[in-house]
Amino acid sequence: MKIAMTGTSGNMGREVLKQVMELPEAEFVRVLLSPKKKNDKLAKVYKREYGDRIEILRGTVADEALCRRLVSGTDYVVHMAAVIPPRSDADFKASEECNYLGAVAMANAVRETSPQPSYIHISTVALYGNRNEKHPFGRVGDPLLVSAFDAYAMHKLKGERYLLEAGLKRWVVLRQTAMLHPNMMHDNVSDGLMFHTCLNAPLEWVSSRDSGLLIKRILMRDGRGEIDSFWRKIYNIGAGEKGMQTGYDTFKDGFSIIGGSAEKFFKPNWLAARNFHGLWFSDGDELEELFRYQRDDPSGYWKEIGKGHKLYKLGKLVPRPLIDLFLFRRLRNHPNSPYRWVKNGDKARVMATFGGEEQYRKLPKKWQDVKLLAKGDFGDYDALRKVDNARKNGLLLSHGYDEEKPMSKWTIEDMKSAAKFRGGECLSDEFSDPYAKLRWKCHDGHEFSLTPYAVLRGGHWCDKCLPEPWDFDRLAKDNPFYAQVWYDSHEKDENVRYDLGEGEEAKLHRYGGDE
């Protein structure tokens, strides 16, 4: 078994490489590392650990010629390379190059290789956009409403869509959920990104270790010819009920390893009220049933992180005012912090994050005034995390057609029903294959080609209406598919559009006048 990988300098990629190399049948792995200086040392480590079993290429994933070299002669390709927040927030071009153009280059390289390797594309939960206590559960096929100014999610959305339409023979898309890894605390104390997390955001945490095990078992089982029906589909990488938390739970577990809590370290109005991303997966059991990879739970993993970093133990001895002064007040005033956006009068980001300055002023400033999903303020927390309850009580979003039908029973009427629910129409008159492109038209009159699978099971729709600009206030008025979740955190009369101007400056357009 010969395997090509991107993204092995990242937290998930390191684990995937480590665990795949445990497979006796993994005779050879070729990896692509970016030319960053820090990867010089990593390349030496990999050669020392794996010797002739590994070949290392250096360069950018957007280089199509390099990608063809990477995948040539391989049986499997695992594409994990990504520029994630906070770097993607600060460097739009780097995000576009890796998350979108890199996905294009990899898909093209695989398509042009003969024989074609099987292709595993890692996507992200960020495609689903903001969720809260009103619709905490989601699944493949839900609307893809990436949050305003989230370059990472936007470029990953475009990259995934390109792959779905690239005509590859054997592919799979895995949308990764929130991921725990050994460097969690370190990676979140250098930027205001921490404060983007909404307290009631549903977050389903899977560990990088379990993610590595998933990829290992995919390769292992497919190598034995056991999972042919697995391919040409989209799945959500989840952790099951034990991994279902909220933003509040995450702060509680994370800060506990340094002897603190959210209540001790900051005020609730320092945090975003919306425009985040996170989801509990109602279909996360699909991968688990196939590969049995869900082992870690968040609380236990955080304790493991604490034990592995002696410095965090010292945090329990440092007086809270000093931690506040030298860490959290600094983060609060970071340029990527919502508090700083309010302070600087960044109207676009304040509108996206809070619904405007007036709504920000109304946020509770004391923890006792905050309604928390995790503390039962919206009903029994344990019961709310039961997938069966969500299904039974009709809390899952509609996709606009008879979702109980298997794909083999789909008809052109299902296509037309789904299109109508999206405010548009299916222009084709015949349906024969979920992977054969049909013609569609959105409410704005844009015509486009897209496979039925990408629409009905992928949640994709008009590429001309894709962000940016982020125009969901207007689109939701005529698109029930979007409206059913957009209005969970937005008012129907907001009537704004978000744009990136020159230099990726955040812009706010109110219908009736710009700001």
Alpha helices (H) in 132-261, listed in sequence order: 151-164, 184-187, 208-223, 247-256
Q: Taking residues 344-348, what's their average pLDDT?
A: 95
The residue-averaged pLDDT of 39-67 equals 96
Strand partners, 440: 426, 448
Sign, CA torsion 417/407/391/144: negative
Residue 225: which residues within 8 A CB-CB, separation 6 or more?
Answer: none
User: What pLDDT does residue 357 have?
Assistant: 96
The pLDDT of residue 325 is: 65
The two tokens of residue 373 are 């999903």
488-515 pLDDT, tens digit each: 999 999 999 999 877 778 999 998 766 6
Dump strand ranges (E) for 297-432.
Answer: 425-426
- The angle, 0 to 180 degrees and rounded to 10, between the axes of the packed helices 11-20 and 208-223 is 40
Query: What is the pLDDT at residue 324?
Result: 72
Residue 306: per-residue pLDDT? 80
Residue 130: pLDDT band by 50, 70, 90 thresholds?
Answer: very high
Asked if 187 contacts 132 with a C-beta cutoff of 8 angstroms, the reply is no
pLDDT confidence of 315, banded at 50, 70, 90? Answer: low
Confidence of residue 183 (pLDDT cuts 50, 70, 90): confident
To the nearest whole percent, how much of the chain has pLDDT over 90?
83
Which whole-number Å values give the CA distances from 296 to 210, 284, 299, in the listed order?
7, 15, 9
Assign domain 2-191+204-246+277-296 to a CATH class: alpha beta
262-304 pLDDT per residue, tens: 898 889 999 999 999 999 999 999 999 999 999 999 988 888 8
pTM tops 0.75, yes or no: yes
Q: Is the pLDDT of residue 476 over 80?
A: yes
Rounded to an integer, the average pLDDT of 226-254 is 95
Question: What integer pLDDT is reported at residue 314 of this predicted model?
Answer: 60
What local confidence, expressed as pLDDT, does residue 354 receive? 98
pLDDT of residue 458: 97
81, two tokens: 């390379």
Residue 145 · residue 94 · CB < 8 Å: no
Q: Determine the average pLDDT of the residues in 142-163.
A: 97
DSSP state of 236: E
Q: List the chain domain ranges.
A: 2-191+204-246+277-296, 407-514
The residues, any chain, with a CB within 8 Å of residue 255's CB and separated by 6 or more, are 261, 262, 264, 265
Mean local confidence (pLDDT), 439-467: 96
Question: How far, in Å, CA of 8 to CA of 10, rounded?
Answer: 5
DSSP, residue by residue, 404-445: TS-GGG--HHHHHHHHHHTTSEE--S----TTS-EEEE-TT-
Q: What is the DSSP letter of 355?
A: S
pLDDT of residue 515: 62
- Give the span between the Cα atoms of 395 and 494, in whole angstroms: 25
Mean pLDDT of 42-54: 96
Averaged pLDDT of the chain = 93
| 76-85, 345-354, 379-388: segment of lowest average pLDDT | 379-388
User: What pLDDT, on the 0 to 100 scale, is given for residue 326?
Assistant: 67
Look at residue 157 in the predicted model and tell me its pLDDT: 98
